Structure 1
Amino acid sequence: MKTQFLVQKIVFLAIFVSLCACLQVFKDHFIYWQDTLFHDFWRLWTAHWVHVGWIHFFLNMLAFICLPFIFPRAAVWHFIAILLILSPLISLSFYFFLPDIEAYAGLSGVLHGAYVAVACVHLMYKRERNFAAFVLFLILAKLVWENTIGNTGTAELIGSPVLVEAHLLGVIGGVILAIGYIVGSYLIDK
């Protein structure tokens, strides 16, 4: 059973990374453009699956590939749900709450949310609790760092400013998803 679970994760990751790489080739058709967001509705999702450049792509894909192995209890459907829910949630938050953001590309907001969502759920398991709390602490420290000192090194590396608002929105969305999952699991068990 564990081998099948591992194979499912590897296949899922291969498909997602390949999809993102294909979208990257034509990224101008998939990034978040505020003016055309509702006309080109797919951008609600794809804006988070394309990147400003290939270095940005590789960094985010590496972080995403690590997630299912850092938290092995999470199933493939959890990651699919996170990608399908957080992406439009962040895009719509940009549109309605941060109208100054005219363009965006990158998975980092969704990544922050995914790590938070999965870590929050893993707080329920005694064996994973300390590690999950440590991951949450690191993400909180990163958010504080980015919003006080800045993130110029990453911006220089990827050749574009880092939109720390996406990270914060992802974390908020991740917490909401985790609460929904935990409450749903509790209600199903009752």
Structure 2
Amino acid sequence: MVNHILMKRLLFVACCMVISALLQLLQAESVYWRWAFWSEPWRWWSAHWVHVNWIHYFLNIFAFICLPFIFPRLRLSVLAALLLVLPPLVSISFYYYFPEVEVYAGLSGVLHGLYIAAALDALTIASERRFALLLLAVVGLKLFWENIFAAHDQIATMIGSPVLIEAHLLGAWWGVICTALWLGYRQYQRHHALE
């Protein structure tokens, strides 16, 4: 049974890696372009799976690969749903709240949302609560540090592009909202199942 679950997680991660790598080959057609927001809506999703370059790709994919194994009780169906919902939410937020963002590529905003959502979900499991609190504190401190000191020179040099900390904030924000809605829905289901 454990091997079956592990294989499903590995297959899921491998599929996401391949999709993201293939989008690298279609970079110009996949990045977020503000001017094409309404005429090319696939970019709402694809922009978060395409990267500035292969170094950027590998940095984000490594963080993504770790997620389902750091949080082994996170259901793949929940992870898949978040991967479908978070990218357009971040893109729409760029469009309406950060009009100065004209071009964007990268998974880091969505990754912040995924890690926040996974940690919030793990808070409901007693054996994972301490780790979840630690991770939430680390991500919170990282976001605070980024917004106060904006120290990304080394990463920006490595990937050849500025780091858009607004994406990290939006991803984390939407991760909180999506998880609150999910946990609220689960609680609602449990309550009505008891009646």
Q: So what's the TM-score if we normalise by structure 1?
A: 0.98
Measured in 1, the distance between the counterparts of 2:107 and 2:25 equals 16
Question: Counterparts in 2 of 1:52-67, with a 5 A limit?
Answer: 52-67=52-67
| 2:190 corresponding residue in structure 1 | 189
Measured in 2, the distance between the counterparts of 1:136 and 1:41 equals 32
Larger CA deviation: 153-162 vs 165-174: 153-162
Q: CA RMSD in A?
A: 0.8
**Structure 2 segments unaligned to the other structure (5+ residues):** none
Determine what percentage of the aligned residue pairs are the same residue. 46
| 1:96 corresponding residue in structure 2 | 96
Measured in 2, the distance between the counterparts of 1:160 and 1:125 equals 39
Question: Counterparts in 2 of 1:170-185, with a 5 A limit?
Answer: 170-185=171-186
Number of aligned positions between the proteins: 190
| 1:77 corresponding residue in structure 2 | 77
Question: Counterparts in 2 of 1:1-190, with a 5 A limit?
Answer: 1-150=1-150, 151-190=152-191
CA displacement 1:5-33 (0-9 Å, x = unmatched) = 21111111111100100010121100000
SS of the aligned residue for 2:126 comes to coil
SS of the aligned residue for 1:127 comes to helix
Measured in 1, the distance between the counterparts of 2:146 and 2:179 equals 23
CA displacement 1:47-79 (0-9 Å, x = unmatched) = 000000100000000000000000000111111
CA displacement 1:99-132 (0-9 Å, x = unmatched) = 1100000000000000000100101111100000
Amino acid at match of 2:181: G
**Stretches of 4+ aligned residues off by more than 2 angstroms:** none
Measured in 1, the distance between the counterparts of 2:4 and 2:185 equals 26
Amino acid at match of 2:183: I
Amino acid at match of 2:144: V
Q: So what's the TM-score if we normalise by structure 2?
A: 0.96
Measured in 1, the distance between the counterparts of 2:41 and 2:90 equals 14
Measured in 2, the distance between the counterparts of 1:10 and 1:180 equals 28
Q: CA deviation at 1:3?
A: 2.0
Measured in 2, the distance between the counterparts of 1:113 and 1:153 equals 23
SS of the aligned residue for 2:99 comes to coil
Measured in 2, the distance between the counterparts of 1:98 and 1:148 equals 18
**Structure 1 segments unaligned to the other structure (5+ residues):** none
